[in-house]
Amino acid sequence: MDESNQFEQHRLLLSQVAEGSEPAFAALYAMYKNSVYNTALSYLQNTVEAEDVTQDVFVKIHASAAFFQGKSSVKTWIYRITINHTLDQLRHKKRQKRFGDFVQLFQPGGTNPSLDIPDFDHPGVLLDQKEDARIVFKAIALLPEQQKTAFILAFIEDLPRQEVALVMNVSIKAVESLLQRAKKNLRSSLDFLLPDRRV
Amino acid sequence: MNENWKDDVLNCVTGISKAEPNSLLYHTIREKIIYNARMKPSVVKKPYLALAAACLALVLTANIWIFNQSNVTSSLPTDYPIDLANFNLY
């Protein structure tokens, strides 16, 4: 199936979802569940939170299917909803962490491990690469939002640069620049996250 | 300094295989959608709301106008002065 056909098929499915068709919603879910879940997982680095976001994203897709204007492809629209929702979730987590740090100031010696960023093992990573992947995900978590989005979409989700630009609503040149800066920041993060590898 | 090791480390996440969400997630989503639909307050669509507001404004304006008109007529002198003769018609 060529791209424009697929584009139209997905649009048709979404209009059927807007009319209340359950099979259309099930088909749309089957097509995009992995993209939504894996994108959320790369940002949040927590399977339970990623599933919560996936749930919220599909509820939102169902609720706003009637308002889809067709200015972008369904895929781009779904990625945008996912990223916006995930970034909101991340900001909420950061606020919680800041509050936790503030509370800790008044509790000397007390720790709140639930608010720390734990080691994350992505289920899709090969066993012999798990250690390195854990470090890379830690470094990704330290990136600024825009660089993080560009890196996740381009390298982990493996989207073409043009699609990344559409999802992020920026030019392809801007995506390239974000990716360069992201890689530069990741490399410098690796220096202190993996000091024993510096030869 | 040789920096290739950093690229090797970074490449380990490039195009990693996709993880699958819990197989029961779809049912949870359906349940949430049904729950939301039940809990959703009945929302009046904007055009109907505007029409209702316009009707209300029209009724209010008409009431005020009628009230003013009745004040004007009551302040005018009566055409038929009420005298004893008018009460003795029957």
Q: Which ipTM value was assigned to this complex?
A: 0.80
Distances A90 to A33, A96, A117, A164 between C-alpha atoms, Å: 20, 10, 11, 20
B14 within a domain of the structure (yes/no): no
Which amino acid is it at B88?
N
B chain contacts of residue A198, beta-carbon cutoff 8 Å: 1
pLDDT in tens, A117-129: 567 888 888 888 8
B70 within a domain of the structure (yes/no): no
Contact A139, A189 (CB under 8 A): yes
Task: Give this prediction's pTM.
Answer: 0.76
Query: How far is it between the farthest Cα atoms of chain B?
Result: 126
72-111 in A: which are within 8 Å (CB) of B? none
B chain contacts of residue A37, beta-carbon cutoff 8 Å: 18-21
Contact A47, A61 (CB under 8 A): no
Q: Domain count for chain B, please give it.
A: 1
pLDDT in tens, A73-124: 999 999 999 999 999 999 998 888 777 777 777 776 655 544 455 678 888 8
Torsion of CA A30, A31, A34, A36, to 10 degrees: -110
Interchain pair B19, A34: CB under 8 A: yes
d(CA A64, CA A86): 17
Range of the domain at B30: 22-64
B37 within a domain of the structure (yes/no): yes
B47 within a domain of the structure (yes/no): yes
Interchain pair B13, A125: CB under 8 A: yes
What is the average pLDDT value for chain B, to the nearest integer? 82
Give residue ranges of B with CB < 8 Å to any A CB: 1-3, 5-6, 8-10, 12-22, 25-26, 28-30, 32-33, 36
- Interface check A134 vs B, CB under 8 A: no
d(CA A25, CA A19): 10
Interval B40-50 mean pLDDT: 78
Out of A47, A135, A158, closest to residue B15 by CB: A158
Interval A151-155 mean pLDDT: 95
Residue pairs between chains A and B whose CB atoms are closer than 8 Å:
90
Out of A123, A158, A186, closest to residue B19 by CB: A123
B15 within a domain of the structure (yes/no): no
